[in-house]
Structure 1
Amino acid sequence: MINPEVQNFPFWRHLDTAWQERLDASVRRADYAAGQEVRGNGSECLGVLMLLSGRMRVYISAEDGREATIYRLGQGEICVLSASCTMPDIHYDVQIQAMEDSSALILPTPVFARLIRENIYVENYAYRSATEHFSDIIQAIEQLLFQTLEQRLVSFLLDEAASQNSDELHVTQEQTARAIGSAREAVTRALKKLSQEGLIRLFRGGVELLDRKELYSRV
């Protein structure tokens, strides 16, 4: 019997019966602890990842250790960039980290590579998905180059609030610093400044947004 979770891959209905059975037999489930690297810099091609539960971040890193989060994955979302090695025209690499305890289905690289060669719909889906996220990479680079630390910090806090649908964010200062590509000490100072201005409230292990309207004006 085919695993119903596998049928959530967006290209499932475009596969014939033989490929559906092959996909079902090939996909594996993986569990990750909060903070665990799912795919590191220079690591082997992981394959297509579909998040079943939890949250992950997709990011790029510089040689000096700075990081910039490109986008976040939520439940049911798919990352094709984790299998970018199967697409010869895609020449950028990403890293993936679990933001909280997470579970995912992984379609191995060899299976996905063959599927791309044999199914034009899957090939189009893969390139469309990768192209859509290229703009996210450009935006992340622009933020590092042209935005102030406060602007990057506020943008991150607002994005997290929207993602979690809450003004109370359980995110550490270390996680925040890594997400926006800055030093923890600098992030700590910027958070304290926003707190002194009454825009946020700091608590152990997190931040509460108190004035979203003013925070939006700072971006």
Structure 2
Amino acid sequence: MNQKADILNYLTRHFPTLDSHLQEHLSAVGLLKEVAAGTVLMKQGQYIKYTMLVLEGRIKLYREGEDAGEFFMYYLEPGDACAISMVCIASGKSSEVMAKAIEDAVVLMIPVQHMEALMKDYKSWYQFVIESYRRRFEELLMVLDSTVFKSMDERLLNYIREQSRQLQTRELKLTHQEIATDLNSSREVISRLLKKMEQKGMVKLYRNYIAVLTV
């Protein structure tokens, strides 16, 4: 299969709300890109040249503090678009967040010069962008509510549940440090809370993964 056919196959599978004419157009102007786990796709202070649609894998969105600490925002999965890059393109502003592939991924990069015409010429794209904004805003509100109003053990429980749901597995290949970074905590605190969850029969801790039992 050629790249255009590959793109159409991905779009049909993961972006069914985009009409067929739009999918054809995106397959002509978009660039299919494979990225390895750990690749940084967007940096703070960077001016955006492309917006991206996620076709495979997961992309982590987060802010990086002056002390190199991270504030986790949300994940992008197949069928998602990077709403923040769209906002930056529309406003001509540089990015204020980081985007990093946390596993091998495939994304469709759409050059900035096509964005205005897409919004004007394709109703399904306009609706898709608005829905992307809404979903990301709701996710950010959930993160804010969790950070401000919930204890760390509640946040950890919700995090484990959400990771299991998103990845569709009960075996989470996450280190205690990765969880601590996402929850803006320390590895020691997360390890202690996970041990408590294990004692309650909620999870089982192994060297390379966490088995979700009754969460």
When normalised by structure 1's length, the TM-score is 0.78
Structure 1 stretches lacking a partner, 5+ long: 213-219
Residue correspondences, number: 206
1:13 paired to 2:13: no
How far apart are the structure 1 equivalents of 2:4 and 2:152? Answer: 46
- State the secondary structure of the residue aligned to 1:48: strand
Q: 1:36 aligns with which of 21, 39, 46?
A: 39
1:82 paired to 2:89: no
How far apart are the structure 2 equivalents of 1:199 and 1:74? Answer: 26
Q: 1:119 aligns with which of 118, 121, 140?
A: 121
- State the secondary structure of the residue aligned to 2:174: coil
Structure 2 stretches lacking a partner, 5+ long: none
Q: 1:209 aligns with which of 203, 208, 212?
A: 212
1:182 paired to 2:189: no
How far apart are the structure 2 equivalents of 1:41 and 1:154? Answer: 30
Which residue in the other structure is 1:67 paired with? 71
- State the secondary structure of the residue aligned to 1:4: helix
Q: What is the identity, as a one-letter code, of the residue corresponding to 1:3?
A: K
Residues 119-128 or 187-196, more deviating:
119-128
How far residue 2 of structure 1 moved from its aligned partner, in angstroms, is 7.6
How far apart are the structure 2 equivalents of 1:90 and 1:143? Answer: 28
Q: How does 1:93-104 map to 2 (within 5 A)?
A: 93-104=96-107
How far apart are the structure 1 equivalents of 2:108 and 2:87? Answer: 17
When normalised by structure 2's length, the TM-score is 0.79
How far apart are the structure 1 equivalents of 2:196 and 2:29? Answer: 51
8 Å CA contact retained: 2:180, 2:190: yes
8 Å CA contact retained: 2:31, 2:110: yes
Q: What is the identity, as a one-letter code, of the residue corresponding to 1:4?
A: A
How far residue 82 of structure 1 moved from its aligned partner, in angstroms, is 2.6
Which residue in the other structure is 2:5 paired with? 4
8 Å CA contact retained: 2:43, 2:96: no
How far apart are the structure 2 equivalents of 1:160 and 1:132? Answer: 17
How far apart are the structure 1 equivalents of 2:35 and 2:106? Answer: 6
Residues 140-149 or 4-13, more deviating:
4-13
1:27 paired to 2:10: no
Which residue in the other structure is 1:151 paired with? 154
8 Å CA contact retained: 1:47, 1:80: no
Percent identity over paired residues: 24
Q: What is the identity, as a one-letter code, of the residue corresponding to 2:162?
A: D
